[in-house]
Structure 1
Amino acid sequence: MTDELRGLLRESAEAHLPDRARMLARVERGTARRGAARGLRDRARTGPLTWPKIVLATLATAGTLTVSALTVVAVVHTPDPPRQPAAAAPSAAPSAVDRTAPPTAGSRTEDGPLWSDGSVDPHSNTYWAQSNVTLKTRKPLTALVVELRIALTAGVKDTGSWRTLPAEDFELSAREEGGFLVYRWTLKPGRNVPSGEHVFAGQYDHATGGRDAKDDAYRIDAAGAGEGGAAVWGGFA
């Protein structure tokens, strides 16, 4: 092999040796890219909520609003608390409410600030019924007794009651007396009834078939602060 050929081979081999400076630069660029990618992943973990988390948060908020709405509805129309059917009926102050007139003596649906109506609820059926007593008052009341009398026709049995006013403002009794199932709501001392429309309802089972409510009756006695008493009564045609 001639010296010229050896020189050519050496030059060719040296041309294939790695460039150390170039390799170090490539390593540094790769390290920088990995660091940037890691930073992006860290920011993703600590950054804004991803869409599944946003959906879950939205559902949780909607659930809270639904529970609140149901609570408000329940306050507007809630059943009366359990009571002892045999308990003695409470009475209002005699000076505030005069209950000498019988509840079935004709029909008087207006007196002073009071207006009233009795009706069988349209959702009643062949096995069960609800009787509604509606009271409208143009002035606030400081004494109130609402009495609903359901004639004890075949199968009549108490199944519950409710009122649109707060339950804690009233004493309630439900018992059988004189051939009637009698519901009585009595306003507690120190409580008030605002002006407006209010409903008191009694619920009961009865024998299968249509029930005649001609013997049912209601009576409302009330008084306002510093005023004389007023009374209204009627039936359930």
Structure 2
Amino acid sequence: MTGRRDVDEELRARLHEAAGAHEPDRARILARVERGMAGRGRDRPGHHGATRPPLLGWARVAGATAAVAGVLAVGGYAVASALKDDAPPQRSVATSPAPAPSREATTSRAPAPPADPTPSAPPGTETPEPPASSRPPAATGSATARPPVSAVEDGPLWSDGSVDPHSHDFWAQSNITLKTGEPLTALTVELVVAQTGGVASTGAWRSLPEEDFTFTVEERDGFLVHRWTLKQGRTVPAGEWMFAGQYDHERGDRDAGGDRYSATATAGSERLSVQGDFAPRDGGS
């Protein structure tokens, strides 16, 4: 393979030298042609002095010149072809297509809290607290009085209120947990959220079947009231159940001290009633 490459390189070198060294003497060729044509004219009878070569002679001169130019062109093309044939062939690389993005599976969990609607402050900075005069007044009235511990339990019905740990500076979720040792044939649950500024409902859910309840939410006397009512003919089985209300609020660590909940129920022929707030308490029975 190496010997053949050496022969090819030597051939190309000689072709280059031949093409460069070959320079036809066009003036000499034309002079010889003219002398030949002039001699032919003197041999003719009746010739007197130098005569102009006929048209045919000039056509031959032009043809000879064109032939020389053609030889030079063919030689140059042969040299270029010899050089081009030795160039390495171009290669193409095939690439596989990028994989299509996979679709995430959906779940039946409770709605996730929304993302922070405003950009966070740069590191090392603190958000100034609003002056006391611009803060919303705390809710007043009977709903602000903290119910006694005994009110969170009535017979087979026990209750507790808590602020969901996923709450943040712009959004919160209040959870009401009910435990019943007997089936309930009637149940109404109310979540009362104090209007501390910018409070607006963003949804609600419960761990019992949605079609078993009628749900409403309304503004009333400075509070946002969520209400779940068990439909007639439906039953809440014995067990532990949760009711949750979600809402936006003004930026900051919201005070849930004015929030309350209550629940009324029927177990057999007995009427039950519980109520409480959202301060931490030990679990019930």
TM-score of the two chains, using structure 1 as the length reference: 0.57
Q: Gaps spanning 5+ residues in structure 1: where?
A: 1-62, 80-101
Please show how residues 1-237 of structure 1 align to structure 2 within 5 Å. Answer: 74=108, 77=110, 106-107=147-148, 108-225=151-268, 227-237=269-279
User: Deviation digits for residues 142-183 of structure 1, max 9, x if unmatched?
Assistant: 000000000011110100000000000001000101111000
- Write the distance in 2 (CA, Å) between the matches of 1:139 and 1:220: 15
Is the 1:161–1:201 contact (alpha carbons within 8 Å) kept by the matching residues of 2? yes
Q: Deviation at 1:236?
A: 1.0
- Write the distance in 1 (CA, Å) between the matches of 2:220 and 2:271: 26
Q: Deviation at 1:218?
A: 0.1
Q: Gaps spanning 5+ residues in structure 2: where?
A: 1-102, 113-141, 280-285
The CA RMSD over aligned residues, in Å, is 2.2
Is the 2:172–2:247 contact (alpha carbons within 8 Å) kept by the matching residues of 1? yes
- Write the distance in 2 (CA, Å) between the matches of 1:121 and 1:159: 15
Is the 2:146–2:277 contact (alpha carbons within 8 Å) kept by the matching residues of 1? no
Counterpart code for 1:183? H
Q: Deviation at 1:216?
A: 0.2
Is the 1:78–1:163 contact (alpha carbons within 8 Å) kept by the matching residues of 2? no
Is the 2:159–2:178 contact (alpha carbons within 8 Å) kept by the matching residues of 1? yes
Q: Deviation at 1:228?
A: 1.4
Q: Deviation at 1:224?
A: 1.7
- Write the distance in 1 (CA, Å) between the matches of 2:188 and 2:224: 16
**Larger RCO, structure (CA 8 Å, separation 6 or more):** 1
Q: Deviation at 1:234?
A: 0.4
Query: After TM superposition, where is structure 1 displaced by more than 3 Å over at least 4 residues in a row?
Result: 76-79, 102-105
User: Deviation digits for residues 2-27 of structure 1, max 9, x if unmatched?
Assistant: xxxxxxxxxxxxxxxxxxxxxxxxxx
User: Deviation digits for residues 171-196 of structure 1, max 9, x if unmatched?
Assistant: 10001011110000000000000100
How many pairs were matched up?
145
- Write the distance in 2 (CA, Å) between the matches of 1:217 and 1:167: 23
Task: Report sequence identity in percent.
Answer: 54
SS of alignment partner, residue 220 of structure 1:
strand
Is the 1:114–1:137 contact (alpha carbons within 8 Å) kept by the matching residues of 2? yes
